[in-house]
Amino acid sequence: MPIDFQLPDNPPAQVQPPSAPSFDDQYAKARALANGGQPELALAAYSALLTRSPGNADVLLGRGIVHSRLGRWNEAVADLSAAAAASPDYADVWEALGNTYRWSEQPAKALEAYQHLAALRPNDPAALVARARAQRALGHAPEARADLERARVLGGDAAEIDALLAELLPRPVLPSAGTPDAVGAAGYDWAAGLSSSWTDVGIGPRWNDQTVSLRHYMKAGSLGFETLRAHRFGQQDHAWALDGYASLWQGAYANLRYQHSAGSRLFPANSGRVEVWQALGSGWEASLSDDVLGFDSRVNIYGISIAKYSGNFYIQLRHQNIVSQDSRSTGERLLARWYYTGDADNYLELSANSGRSDDPLSLVGGRARSGGGGVAWVRYFTPQWGGKIGASFSRAASGGAGAGDERGITFALYRRW
């Protein structure tokens, strides 16, 4: 009996197991998530890729960039540093690491990363501009300027380069402060100073004064604490002071100061100060001030000033009215500074004064003078350490040479971190 073999009408299809996505497909998906505004999903995708390819520089770079965008600086630095160790010639890694350090306000480490970037891309204007930004943040104006000029030659963005070069011009917020106390140098939150001066008054022992200061910088200004010592007229006195700067409205800043002396032999028992500065545009600034010195007879020193920036030069004219119970007097001071390195740290200063009390915090409330002058040199030898040396001369209104003359010298040491 014949056997009829027949195939089924619809033989079952062969079921193929789904193939796993390739590494390249997973990497492309992770990048799409990162660039599509889904950072947490992107981090998970990059982490999954690292289980397939531990130490992969591309994946570490991608995950580090996402961490950086989220402000997770420690995680970003860990990933990008691992990528740099795995692939030290990978320029994109050094660029991302430098950006992370710059955005997290670590300019010294940013500069180190950008140095690697510039070495790998010596003719890339963007690399030179990035390094210039870090140099500027550290106060290295000549080096920043050289990088920017080189970037211009290589065809960099002219508008960006011009804007950065303009920012390298000296712009201390309150030039009357003597040091940039209102706003610290970028990357530094603290500053300390030690200064001492000696004055030959012609007869009797020389006067000497010392000040130790500590200042903390914040986004809206700064606050400093000072201890002061004075030895004059054969007497010694001490005082302490709080000195603050605060941002007000657009282009305006205020300086507030309170000083106290328990002994009040040379310093006033209590004294205070308020000064408001206002930018006027085109490099002009003006201020109004009032100093109150709480001696036995109260002294008020009212001041008005006008100042002008021009390139690397700054000129200020200040007029003061000194009012006490028994007398009224006036004084003028002309001050000029040359910022010889093109930043706000280093300058040479010349001053001339006439009338009475060119120092609004004078320890004796303002001695009568016919005139005087001074010179000072401020120099930061490293980004952290600086110093000042100065000399002054004045002549009393009622005297000729000798007893009416004063000669002084000043030294200071600065440290910031």
Give 40-77 as a DSSP string: HHHHHHHHHHHHHSTT-HHHHHHHHHHHHHTT-HHHHH
Amino acid present at 2: P
Helices (H), 17-157: 23-35, 39-52, 57-69, 73-86, 91-103, 107-120, 125-137, 141-153
pLDDT score, position 402:
43
Neighbours of 138 (CB within 10 A): 22
* Helices first, then strands: H and E counts in the chain: 9, 14
Report the candidate in 331, 301, 333 with the shortest Cα–Cα distance to residue 316.
333
* Contact call for residues 209 and 242 (beta carbons, < 8 A): no
Report the pLDDT value the prediction gives residue 362, as an integer from 0 to 100. 43
The predicted structure's pLDDT at residue 416 = 87
Closest CA to 200 of 10, 395, 414: 395
pLDDT recorded at residue 138: 82
At position 99, the amino acid (one-letter code) is N
Q: Which domains does the chain show, CATH number per domain?
A: 23-167 (1.25.40.10), 175-416 (2.40.160.60)
Amino acid at 14: Q
Start-to-end CA distance of the chain, whole Å, equals 105
Position 181, amino acid: D
Residues lower than pLDDT 50 in the chain:
1, 3, 5, 171-179, 357-366, 399-403
Per-residue pLDDT at 322: 82
Question: Minimal CA–CA distance to 329: which of 397, 276, 404, 232?
Answer: 397
At 359 the pLDDT is 44
Identify whether the C-beta of residue 260 lies closer than 8 Å to the C-beta of residue 268: no
**Confidence (pLDDT) at 10:** 60
Q: Is 154 helix (H, G, I), strand (E, B) or coil?
A: coil
pLDDT at 260: 93
User: b/e string for 14-23 if b means 16 or more Cβ within 10 A?
Assistant: eeeeeeeeee
> The pTM is what?
0.56
The one-letter amino acid at 239: A
Provide the pLDDT for residue 170.
Answer: 52
Q: What DSSP character marks residue 356?
A: B
Query: How far are the Cα atoms of 256, 333, 417 from residue 373, in angstroms, in the given order?
Result: 27, 9, 33
Alpha helices in 349-391 (DSSP H): none
**pLDDT confidence of residue 376:** 94
Q: List, as own/partner pairs, every contact residues 26-29 make where C-beta atoms lie below 8 angstroms and the sequence separation is at least 24, other chains included.
A: 26/52, 27/58, 27/59, 27/62
Determine the pLDDT at residue 285: 87
Res 396: pLDDT = 66
DSSP 188-244: --EEEEEEEEEEE-SSSSPEEEEEEEEEEEETTEEEEEEEEEEEETTEEEEEEEEEE
